[in-house]
Amino acid sequence: MASRIYFDHSATTPLDPRVRAAMGPYLDGQYGNPSSLHQEGREARDAVEKARAQVAALFGAEPSEIIFTASGTEADNLALVGTIRAGGGSGHVITSAIEHAAVLETCRFLECTGTEVTILPVNGDGLVDPASLKGALRDQTRLVSIMMANNVVGTLQPVGELGLITAQHGCLFHTDAVQAVGKVPIDVEQLGVDLLSLSAHKLHGPKGVGALYVRHGVCLDPIVFGGGQERGLRSATENVAGIVGLGAAAAHAREEMATESARLATWRERILHELRESVPNACLIGHSEKRLPGHLCLGFAGQEGEMLKLVQALDASGVAVSAGSACSSAHVGVAEKTLVAMGFDSARARGLLRVTLGRFNTDEEVERFLHILPQAVTSLVPAENDVSYSFWD
Ligand code: PLP
Q: Is residue 383 part of a domain?
A: no
Residue-number span of the structural domain to which 109 is assigned:
17-252
Listed residues 195, 222, 252: the one ending a domain? 252
Among protein residues, the one whose CA lies closest to atom 12 of ligand 1 = 72
Which residue in 61, 54, 102, 100 sits closest to 78, CA to CA? 102
CA distances from 207 to 70, 72, 103, 290 (A): 9, 10, 19, 28
Query: Which ligand 1 atom is at minimum distance from the Cα of 207?
Result: 15
* 53 lies in the same domain as 183: yes
* 167 lies in the same domain as 303: no
CA distance 201 to 250: 11
Beta carbons within 8 Å of 48's beta carbon, 6+ residues apart? 34, 68, 238, 240, 243, 244
Q: Please give the model's pTM, rounded to 2 decimal places.
A: 0.95
* 129 lies in the same domain as 242: yes
Query: Which ligand 1 atom is at minimum distance from the Cα of 200?
Result: 15
Listed residues 252, 274, 289: the one ending a domain? 252
User: How high is the pLDDT of residue 388?
Assistant: 40
Which residue in 304, 291, 280, 289 sits closest to 353, CA to CA? 304
Which residues have any ligand 1 atom within 6 Å of their CB? Answer: 71-73, 76, 100, 102, 147, 151, 176, 178-179, 199, 210, 326
**43 CA from centroid of ligand 1 (Å):** 30
**Exposure string (b/e) for 374-392, b if CB count within 10 Å is 16 or more?**
eebbeebeebeeeeeeebe
* 186 lies in the same domain as 291: no
Listed residues 252, 270, 300: the one ending a domain? 252
Q: Is residue 391 part of a domain?
A: no
**354 CA from centroid of ligand 1 (Å):** 16
* 307 lies in the same domain as 168: no
What CATH number does the domain containing 46 carry?
A: 3.40.640.10
**48 CA from centroid of ligand 1 (Å):** 22
Query: Which ligand 1 atom is at minimum distance from the Cα of 71?
Result: 15
Name the percent of the chain lying above pLDDT 70.
95
Q: Is residue 335 part of a domain?
A: yes
Model confidence at 392, in pLDDT bands (50, 70, 90)? very low
* 224 lies in the same domain as 273: no
* 201 lies in the same domain as 338: no
Among protein residues, the one whose CA lies closest to atom 4 of ligand 1 = 178
User: How high is the pLDDT of residue 328?
Assistant: 55
SS3 141: strand
Residue pLDDT, tens place only, 323-346: 866 555 555 556 789 999 999 998
* 200 lies in the same domain as 285: no
Q: Is residue 393 part of a domain?
A: no
| DSSP line for 148-211 | SB-TTT-BBP-HHHHHHHHHHHT-EEEEE-TTTTTTS---HHHHT-SEEEEEGGGTTS-SS-EE
Model confidence at 54, in pLDDT bands (50, 70, 90)? very high
CA distance 225 to 209: 18
* 239 lies in the same domain as 286: no
Q: Are 200 and 243 in contact (CB under 8 A)?
A: no
